[in-house]
Structure 1
Amino acid sequence: MSSQHNGSLSAEERFRQAFERLKADAPKVLTPGTPVTQNNVAREAGCDPSALKKARFPALIREIQAYSEIHQANVESAAQKTKKRRTANRSIQQRMEDAIKQRDEMASKLISAGRRILELAEENRSLQQRLNEVQPPPARIF
């Protein structure tokens, strides 16, 4: 078969070769890492996904579906591993930037709270002074 030109291969042979390339993660048309699905096998074979029909290629479709079901858990776990790796590999620079931002926000809140305390203390002093003018405190008896 390898001596045959791609144009002289039957449609099923082209689909089977595409299926094998996707299983080996060595596609020629699609990007490596593309999941093995019925549509992707057709695309890898250079055909429209509607060309790979169950009515024409029932055995091949069953093989693709069985392979997909068996390897689907591995694909999902690989995606989860990739996400965890990205999270774990978050650069020190990004973490430092986040910490600086948090520090600056907290410093701003602290300054605002300190300013408000001073305003309230001044208001309290002013009100106490007005109260003493209206009603003087009782005299102490010794």
Structure 2
Amino acid sequence: MSTYEKQPDKALTAEQRFRDAFERLKHAVPQVLPKGTPVSQNNVAKEAKCDPSALRKARYPLLVIAIQEWVEGHKSDQAPSERQNLLKQRQKKRDTRETMLDLKLQRDHAVGLIADADLRIVELSEKVADLQARLDELKPSAKVLNHSK
């Protein structure tokens, strides 16, 4: 019998059940959880057929530290969980939504600037036309100057 195969529960202490579960998960041969389940403190407790709150650092400090170190050391080996993938997708969607809102605000601001510029162009064009009309009234035209000779 290998070290991570199940032994009778009656002869094992709770800590030994947790250690056996940890070994089974490390070697990807869980008996309770589905294959491919990542190693975590909660999953070790579940694999040991215990409530996750039973595997506490206060009760089993060395085991919990060993689990945490193993998880840290093997982060790159484990594929992201479905939940982590969903969280990444949500973050991407949120980032996309925020970018779209920001771009819409920039667009609206630019449209406002263009509308202000168009209005100013119209006002200045009218002013130029008015000034040109006044100038034409004040200076004699070429026809009037030619007839006086």
TM-score w.r.t. length of structure 2? 0.48
Identity %: 54
User: Structure 2 CA distance, aligned partners of 1:25 and 1:3?
Assistant: 14
Is the partner of 1:67 in helix, strand or coil? helix
Which consecutive residues of structure 1, in runs of 5 or more, have no partner in the other structure?
80-142
Q: Which amino acid aligns with 1:74?
A: D
User: Structure 2 CA distance, aligned partners of 1:60 and 1:7?
Assistant: 20
Match of 1:58 in 2: 61
Shift of 1:5: 2.2
User: Structure 1 CA distance, aligned partners of 2:55 and 2:40?
Assistant: 11
Is the partner of 2:38 in helix, strand or coil? coil
User: Structure 1 CA distance, aligned partners of 2:53 and 2:62?
Assistant: 16
User: Structure 2 CA distance, aligned partners of 1:31 and 1:4?
Assistant: 19
Higher-Rg structure is 2
Once the two structures are superposed, the pairs formed by residues 94-109 of structure 1 within 5 Å of their partners are: none
Change (3 A) 1:4 1:72: closer
Once the two structures are superposed, the pairs formed by residues 1-142 of structure 1 within 5 Å of their partners are: 5-76=8-79
1:86-142 Cα deviation digits (max 9, x unpaired)? xxxxxxxxxxxxxxxxxxxxxxxxxxxxxxxxxxxxxxxxxxxxxxxxxxxxxxxxx
Change (3 A) 1:73 1:3: closer
User: Structure 1 CA distance, aligned partners of 2:8 and 2:70?
Assistant: 27
Shift of 1:4: 5.9
Deviation above 4 Å: which 4+ runs of structure 1? 1-4
Q: Are the counterparts in 1 of residues 42 and 52 from structure 2 also a CA contact under 8 Å? A: yes
User: Structure 1 CA distance, aligned partners of 2:79 and 2:73?
Assistant: 11
TM-score w.r.t. length of structure 1? 0.51
Change (3 A) 1:70 1:55: same
